[in-house]
Structure 1
Amino acid sequence: MAASAGPEIERLIGLLSKLPGMGPRSARRAALALLKKRDQLLVPLAEAMTVAAERVRPCSVCGAPDTRDPCAICSDSERDRTLICVVEEAGALWAMERVGAFRGRYHVLGGLLSALDGIGPEALRIGPLVERVRAEGVAEVVLALPATVDGQTTAHYVAERLAPLQVAVTTLARGVPVGGELDWLDDGTIAQALRARRPA
């Protein structure tokens, strides 16, 4: 960045570039867009970020970010308290809620087991999950974790930890997406779809 931009702008660009999916060029474009539309974008964004920093905290029950504790989902008496969906991060929870097909509660692990990154079970919210299942009379735990090596390793570990509690542990079905065409799918997706086939 040219020195003529000033340290404030350089700091803004530097911070924006740390966001997921935002490299230095994207951060520069975003900073310019914010500065161009100061009143419509920059000021409201700064205010929203300040409020979020002050008020949003992880739910003490499930770990999802919210301004109340317990969060709105954990406080909802209409939710099925015997059903917990385990997700890696809040983004997956929000995706599940967007669909509107799940009426249980959630548990956010806060990451995945990863030997390469030095992330072990103690770094995740696996212990609190086991305690919830034990204390709350949970009948089924749905593991909605990524179909990656780390995701599958984490799912296997969580299932092992829950085994002594004799709770049903299920995973999301994987395979051909709705509207998907076979010739556009990768080999792993097709193989998984074949393994998970069911009567027509």
Structure 2
Amino acid sequence: MFYPDSLNKLITALGKLPGVGPKTAQRLAFYLLNAPAEEAESLAAAILEARRKIHYCSVCGNLTDRDPCHLCTDPERDQTIICVVEEARDIVALEKTRQYRGLYHVLQGAISPVDGIGPEQLKIKGLLRRLHDGKIKEVVLATNADVEGEATALYLAKLLKPLAVKVTRLAYGLPVGSDLEYADEVTLARAFSGRREME
């Protein structure tokens, strides 16, 4: 190795982060070494604090520092609808739209036989418990528009159908600014099926 052991350890640790290759890990390591000591210490403290304080909400599975999370305890939210997402970060994307004001449920993954993930590994039992009292009138399936997300949505739709709850799926279609010629068949089919009357 070309660097001292402690620097190699830092580069190796940074290289384990998703999306960070060897060169980026090296660049980040040198940045941290040349940054003011307070900056590196602040980063280390923020990581340790997040690891210590952040956990999953016992109700919806969102990441939170209090239990239940602020979304579950917000009296302004519609308590009759649950939006099911794969990961906690999906909640942030939906909240940014400011279009949805109901509750959430995080599955913490999607069905993926290739990766050895079946329904048993997902937080589906928690979702079913939340539907037990009859207050929930609609479940919106907002899983990703990929093979795993579609498989998960189909599985949940079949599972929820007998529970006398309305099950809907987010409409998918063409992104704004895209050209028809570059859209795949599935996207175009979704765009057609999700079409609505012009106002």
Match of 2:21 in 1: 23
Q: Deviations over 1:119-168 (max 9, x none)?
A: 11111001110111123611111111111111100001111111121111
Deviates more, 1:123-132 or 1:185-194: 185-194
CA distance in 2, matches of 1:85, 1:115: 24
SS in 2 for 1:42: helix
Question: Is 1:70 aligned to 2:49, yes or no?
Answer: no
Match of 1:109 in 2: 107
Question: Is 1:193 aligned to 2:191, yes or no?
Answer: yes
- On the 8 A contact 1:112/1:150 being kept in 2, the answer is yes
TM-score by length of 1: 0.92
SS in 1 for 2:114: coil
TM-score by length of 2: 0.92
Question: Is 1:39 aligned to 2:42, yes or no?
Answer: no
Deviation, 1:15, is 2.2
Match of 1:169 in 2: 167
Deviation, 1:4, is 4.0
- On the 8 A contact 1:80/1:103 being kept in 2, the answer is yes
CA distance in 2, matches of 1:23, 1:66: 29
SS in 2 for 1:135: coil
CA distance in 2, matches of 1:184, 1:122: 37
CA distance in 1, matches of 2:184, 2:126: 36
CA RMSD of aligned residues (A): 1.6
Runs of 5+ in structure 1 lacking a partner? none
Runs of 5+ in structure 2 lacking a partner? none
**Number of aligned pairs?**
198
Change (3 A) 1:39 1:98: farther
